[in-house]
Amino acid sequence: MLQISHISKTFNPGTVNEKKALNGIDLHLDAGDFVTILGSNGTGKSTLFGAIAGSFVVDEGTIRLDGQNITSLPDYKRSKFIGRLFQDPLKGTAPSMTIEENLALAYLRASEKRSPFSVVTAKDRAGFREKLAQVKTRGSTSAYAATKASLLALQDAGLEQADEDAVVFIGNDSFSMGEFTNEILRFEQEQKMNIMVVPMTMQSSIDSWVTIALGTHGMSSVLNMACASATTAVGWGYDNIQNGTCSMAICGGTTYISDKNLTMNKGFEYLKCSTTDPDGMVYPFSEERNGFLFSEGGACMLILEELEHALRRNAKIYAEITGFESSSDAYGIIAMQPDGTIIERMLRKLIGDKKIDYYNAHGTSTILNDEIEAKVLRNIFGHKEQQPAINSSKAFLGHNLASSGAFELAICVDSIQHNKVHGNLGGTILEDLNYTLETRELPVNTAVSASFGFGGYNSAILLERYKG
């Protein structure tokens, strides 16, 4: 039984953008009830579903499910017993569907001339299968994920194939060695080993498999710059386009850390980087932060194009990269420079005199790093009321390590597209920080995504709404 009693929700209260989306709503549903809610745009249908799913906390009223008060229960806990399907399922990939089915969705999304009920051809399916089959059987998990993500990105861009001279840059870490240790354990137990174990564990094979699948002949490389790897990879793609080396870049990151003896997991625990929360929760920029949670993010790949190149083919332009900066702390292997001056200098150079609407922080939820990053943001932007909306995607995605920057850039693009900044988990937020706990609707015309890694690697990218 679902019992909603007098719930209300106002977004952006006390501002010119104040909107009362729900006003004293009551609803009672018994087990087995099937209900359709109708209404024009802006009447609160999506907000009501968001309240039930836990996307935000209502201002007043209560929500009970089978007698349990779930009004303040976070969405990740409600997801165990509340399912939600968005009105446009083609906006993202479905993890429970096959690779072929996901590719088909991406293909439909990219084609403006097809019926939304059409399917890819047998020829298309055969092509997808052929390109992925070799990687699956002969490549590493990271290579397979990067290739799959690149094919999806290509289809989403509405491209049958990449430019021949396109460059490929992929952020990765050395944790693919987990596959090597798995094979060692297998050999010790079974006296068997994959004949491709050496090329599988070569980092250089990751971008090689992508170039083979996409048929590109431009420069390609795997970047290993710890947690700044993917952001730097995208930045290198941007620089190559800016320098006239190419008109297209396929960039992003991939991470696969699983090894059967959990060496990497234990290693981060010994460094006191991993969360000690009993539920595995992380709270970036809060007084309760105590480390991050690993995420097997797979891969996220982005298609970058020179502007005229995109305009000639009438491509959908999600956002525009207008700046990239990178630096080195030259301080320590695992510790950030305590005063953050190198990061601050890098970000100031990137931002210049632009007004920033949204900052997707590195925000690992570790004790020292979050404090340093918060201090840098206060120095650059001033007090809380002068700061952009700040959050960390690692609060709900976990830490994707080398690939994290690519996922966070995609989130920045989505925020620009939909003028919305995602919320984060609770906690007592560090003083004088404009950290976003609830999902907010606000104009996002400029966004910065920043990544910092072991070894003192720092990278950040500036995105802007395309206004052409």
Provide CB contacts within 8 A for 296, sequence distance 6+: 255, 256, 257, 258
Per-residue pLDDT band at 386 (split at 50, 70, 90):
very high
For residue range 62-95, list pLDDT tens digits in order.
Answer: 999 998 999 988 876 787 778 766 554 444 445 5
Looking at the structure, tell me whether residues 327 and 348 fall in a common domain.
Answer: yes
Does residue 56 form part of some domain? yes
Between 121 and 288, name the one with better pLDDT.
288
Pairing of strands 446-453, 358-360: parallel
| Cα distance between residue 146 and residue 206, in whole Å | 7
Write down which residue in 53, 84, 115 finishes a domain.
84
CATH number for the domain harbouring residue 97 = 3.40.47.10
Looking at the structure, tell me whether residues 436 and 313 fall in a common domain.
Answer: no
Backbone angles phi, psi at 358, to 5 degrees: -145, 135
pLDDT recorded at residue 118: 42
Does residue 386 form part of some domain? yes
Does residue 281 form part of some domain? no
CATH number for the domain harbouring residue 6 = 3.40.50.300
Looking at the structure, tell me whether residues 306 and 168 fall in a common domain.
Answer: yes
For residue range 317-344, list pLDDT tens digits in order.
Answer: 999 999 999 999 999 898 899 999 999 9
pLDDT recorded at residue 166: 97
| Mean pLDDT over each residue of the chain, to the nearest integer | 85
pLDDT recorded at residue 174: 64
Looking at the structure, tell me whether residues 248 and 347 fall in a common domain.
Answer: no
Q: Is the pLDDT score of 356 beyond 80?
A: yes
Does residue 270 form part of some domain? no
| Cα distance between residue 264 and residue 270, in whole Å | 10
Average pLDDT over residues 10-36: 84
Between 131 and 411, name the one with better pLDDT.
411
Looking at the structure, tell me whether residues 94 and 236 fall in a common domain.
Answer: yes
Q: Is the pLDDT score of 41 beyond 90?
A: no
Average pLDDT over residues 109-122: 46
Angle among Cα 216, 217, 219 to the nearest 5 degrees reads 105
Q: Is the pLDDT score of 260 beyond 80?
A: no
Looking at the structure, tell me whether residues 374 and 417 fall in a common domain.
Answer: yes
Between 422 and 276, name the one with better pLDDT.
422
Lowest mean pLDDT among 29-43, 86-100, 338-352, 407-421: 86-100
Looking at the structure, tell me whether residues 322 and 312 fall in a common domain.
Answer: no
Backbone angles phi, psi at 321, to 5 degrees: -80, 125
Q: Which residue has the tokens 């020292």?
A: 368
Looking at the structure, tell me whether residues 237 and 334 fall in a common domain.
Answer: no
List the one residue out of 2, 22, 1 whose CA is nearest residue 63: 2
pLDDT recorded at residue 133: 66
Does residue 428 form part of some domain? yes
pLDDT recorded at residue 86: 57
Angle among Cα 94, 98, 103 to the nearest 5 degrees reads 75
Structure tokens belonging to residue 92: 């993202």
Does residue 267 form part of some domain? no
Looking at the structure, tell me whether residues 195 and 336 fall in a common domain.
Answer: no
| Cα distance between residue 27 and residue 7, in whole Å | 10
Backbone angles phi, psi at 448, to 5 degrees: -120, 135
Does residue 454 form part of some domain? yes
Full domain range(s) for residue 447: 318-468
The length of the chain, given as a count of residues: 468
Looking at the structure, tell me whether residues 301 and 329 fall in a common domain.
Answer: no
Looking at the structure, tell me whether residues 95 and 228 fall in a common domain.
Answer: yes
DSSP summary character for residue 229: H
Pairing of strands 420-421, 298-305: unpaired
pLDDT recorded at residue 205: 84
Angle among Cα 40, 41, 47 to the nearest 5 degrees reads 110
Q: Is the pLDDT score of 97 beyond 80?
A: no
Per-residue pLDDT band at 406 (split at 50, 70, 90):
very high
| Cα distance between residue 301 and residue 151, in whole Å | 9
Positive/negative CA dihedral, 205, 210, 214, 217 = negative
| Cα distance between residue 324 and residue 2, in whole Å | 49
pLDDT recorded at residue 259: 60
Write down which residue in 49, 84, 119 finishes a domain.
84
pLDDT recorded at residue 117: 40
Per-residue pLDDT band at 110 (split at 50, 70, 90):
very low
pLDDT recorded at residue 103: 56
| Cα distance between residue 248 and residue 301, in whole Å | 13
Looking at the structure, tell me whether residues 66 and 94 fall in a common domain.
Answer: no
For residue range 135-194, list pLDDT tens digits in order.
Answer: 665 667 888 889 999 999 999 999 988 999 999 999 998 655 566 666 677 777 888 776
* Share of residues in the chain with pLDDT > 90 (%): 54
Write down which residue in 33, 60, 84 finishes a domain.
84
Number of domains in the chain: 3
Does residue 288 form part of some domain? no
